[in-house]
Amino acid sequence: MSLRITQVDAFTSRPFAGNPAAVCILPKPAQPAWMLNVAREMNLAETAFLVKQRDGYDLRWFTPAVEVDLCGHATLASAHVLWEDGHLKPTEQARFHTKSGLLTADKRDSWIELDFPATPPTLAPPPTGLIEALCTTPKFVGRSRFDYLVEVENEATVRGLTPSRSR
């Protein structure tokens, strides 16, 4: 069986920029081990797998190492492929059934608007090495279901960050 995999550079209008993701529209659900192998072969941050359903698409995301519960740039890339390849009309909403619940995307002129679940963080201890890696003292560290949120003093602090992966 031959399948098409499209690489999309999300969050940019320039080639070879932004955040790349692979998108694969499957004719039927695939085994997780197979999807993981495809993601390893693509070797991008995420590879998105879509399966058409009556009211949208099942959507799963895989890194080269694991399946993840939520990925913004690969969802954006998936919506882009659905509209660009004619799977959806430009006026149709992209509806994605995911492990994180229903996610939607709508075209707004040349933009894509995503609607994701709100998952506010609660105060949490930073994971080992985070403070040292950021090389700054945060005002707040919190954790949601999916991520850590780090608040720093101001925009200049964010722009001046030079995270260290070796610490």
pLDDT of residue 166: 61
Check if the beta carbon of residue 117 is closer than 8 Å to that of residue 124: no
Set 41, 46, 84, 153: catalytic member: 46
Tokens of 93: 């909403």
- 9 shares its domain with 82: yes
Residue 36, domain member (yes or no) = yes
Q: Which domain holds residue 154?
A: 122-160
> Does residue 126 surpass a pLDDT of 60?
yes
Better pLDDT: 95 or 137? 95
- 95 shares its domain with 18: yes
Write the burial class of residue 152 (CB in 10 Å: 0-12 exposed, 13-18 middle, 19+ buried): middle
Question: What string of H, E and C letters represents the secondary structure of the chain?
Answer: CCCCEEEEEECCCCCCCCEEEEEEEECCCCCHHHHHHHHHHHCCCCEEEEEEECCEEEEEEECCCCEECCCHHHHHHHHHHHHHCCCCCCCCCEEEEECCEEEEEEEECCEEEEECCCCCCEECCCCCCHHHHHCCCCCEEEECCCCEEEECCCHHHHHHCCCCCCC
Our answer to whether residue 151 is catalytic in this structure is no
CATH number at residue 48: 3.10.310.10
Point out the domain boundary residue: 115, 130, 148. Answer: 115
pLDDT of residue 165: 67
- The rounded mean pLDDT for the chain is 93
- 44 shares its domain with 85: yes
Number of domains into which the chain is organized = 2
pLDDT in tens, 80-91: 999 999 999 999
Residue 166, domain member (yes or no) = no
- 81 shares its domain with 54: yes
- 100 shares its domain with 20: yes
- 144 shares its domain with 107: no
pLDDT in tens, 127-148: 998 888 888 889 999 999 878 8
pLDDT of residue 1: 67
pLDDT in tens, 28-53: 999 999 999 999 999 999 999 999 99
In the block, which residue shows the tokens 């960050």? 161
